[in-house]
A and B are shown apart, each in its own frame.
Chain A
């Protein structure tokens, strides 16, 4: 979670009313029979953004992506790409490319031919195709695997082929469906930074679908947390983490202690009374609602004995220590200590 701090604060086109969005969802609803996959959604995504759709499976994030790619059509509402309604444009005519969850590499074609596939459809001259494929191979460090078939390379390399192939046509918008889902954890972290690097180099707008909150928080400029076809919160990773707008978001993002109590604003601080006879908690600006406060394990140190210098915020029963990677301490105190 420490990467959250490394946000680039300058890039924020969503706060700039002069910026024209690249993608606009206008009251989009998508139904499959009785099932509502996307429920009256309105959202703008801007150029050069790295936009993450985050949510559990079945929340509608994949449907959104497939509507952008052209494999599904909205039941109601409009999707605009660069101000133009794209409903009537078939997938093969859209300047949108997609990196599939399964990678969907053509097993009968070599790495080179896979990357060249989209370029050949554009009927580009041969030299231009060669040049572009080689550029993509260099970008993804795959040059020496160009002649191999997909089954002759490792999972991580396949992932990069899929990325290179979808970037080759220089799309305005690249959709990534769980791009790192098939990789093991170590490789996933390395690849996250690689993805961010490539996004920055190419200047392409990325929309990524993921159910891994850590991944979304790491790579994205903005994160949309989705639930049952609705966007619950759309914000920068830092804001989502520190000021979730609902219990759902708070619970979905990272480990959290949820403490019930009554909140009272005192100047710019909030005072939360959460249990009778216990001292109130003073919290900074990051509070969420009148009754619920979230309390991140990473923001606090846990102390087995009462520290001398500072007043304890909450006393808890020590249950177990769970390593959360860089920040070491996690203390289970979800049931506050009234009884302790």
Chain B
């Protein structure tokens, strides 16, 4: 192990300061009493109160959450199927096209995805609203889910499935009783990824949404285009807070589980014959 040189220490502290200072400043200013976002006028939580009285924001938040739950659930089902096909189905007609369609949306500029989906919806005469946003979000986030799940499936010991079949399972049973419980963490993180992608998305939602279905990012975007607003600061703080709690909890739980597993294994080896 090499020592941490002064150069490493400096680049780490500057780097993390760069990553976190803007968000910390945003959070601090959300508690600013002044309407002028750049002048500190004492601590206050009034912007949070304003936020919760703002019907338009609350409506948009509700639409966003509904869209995110629906689209991430569909995306998880379709994405897991796609991952299984990619890793397990072997050769079939059109496999190259299939894997191309899985990977392409990951690097596709959002403006193009959004535009093309909108033209489709108009072409088939589908009214833009919650349904179209869910369809659009499902399409691009299923690709992310399938990447997450397939990277887990690649390392999955295939003999577990064979053992299940050997012990009398049909292929469906072996998926339900063995594969799914084991890859569940990857499926769950795929769902969470799809959920956040849907919560965050501005560009595709702007193309796919109608006047009656404004999502929170669209609302935020139209508000901040006019400049910095303390209400948006408050909203951002809440969102950052939720994500931070989620990510920190998840990583602590993962670490605990890993440590426990290691201890169990060591204990078992010591206690072995």
Contact = CB atoms under 8 A, between A and B. Distances in A.
B180 to A, nearest CB: 10
A169 B269 contact: no
Contact of A157 (B165, B181, B265, B272): B272
B272 A169 contact: no
B166 A98 contact: yes
Nearest to B262: A151
B169 A92 contact: yes
Interface in A57-77: 69-71
Contacts of B167: 92, 97, 117-118, 121, 165-166, 169
A155 B269 contact: yes
Interface of A: 69-71, 90-93, 96-98, 100-102, 104, 106-108, 117-118, 121-122, 148-149, 151-157, 165-166, 169, 187, 190
Contacts of B159: 100-102, 104
B33 interface: no
Given A104-B159, A151-B268, A152-B268, A69 B166 contact: yes
B162 A92 contact: no
Contact of A122 (B165, B168, B173, B269): B168
Most chain B beta carbons < 10 A, residue from A149, A151, A166, A187 = A151
B263 to A, nearest CB: 10
Nearest to A97: B166
Contact of B168 (A107, A121, A149, A151): A121
B168 to A, nearest CB: 3
B149 to A, nearest CB: 17
Nearest to B157: A102
B173 A121 contact: yes
B45 interface: no
Interface of B: 157, 159-160, 162-170, 173, 177-178, 181-182, 261, 264-265, 267-269, 271-273
Given A104-B159, A121-B168, A166-B166, 17 more contacts: A70-B166, A91-B166, A92-B165, A92-B169, A92-B170, A100-B159, A102-B159, A104-B157, A104-B162, A148-B268, A149-B264, A151-B264, A154-B273, A155-B272, A156-B272, A157-B272, A190-B273
A107 B182 contact: yes
Contacts of B160: 104, 106
A187 B272 CA distance: 11
Contacts of B165: 70-71, 90-92
A191 to B, nearest CB: 10
A227 B153 CA distance: 33
A166 B157 CA distance: 18
A152 B271 CA distance: 10
Contacts of B273: 154, 156-157, 187, 190
Nearest to B270: A154
Contacts of B170: 92
Contacts of A107: 182
Contacts of A90: 165
A121 B166 CA distance: 11
A62 to B, nearest CB: 11
Contacts of A165: 163, 167
15 contacts: A69-B162, A69-B166, A90-B165, A92-B165, A98-B162, A98-B163, A100-B162, A106-B160, A106-B178, A107-B182, A118-B166, A121-B173, A152-B267, A156-B273, A187-B273
Most chain A beta carbons < 10 A, residue from B157, B162, B165, B167 = B167
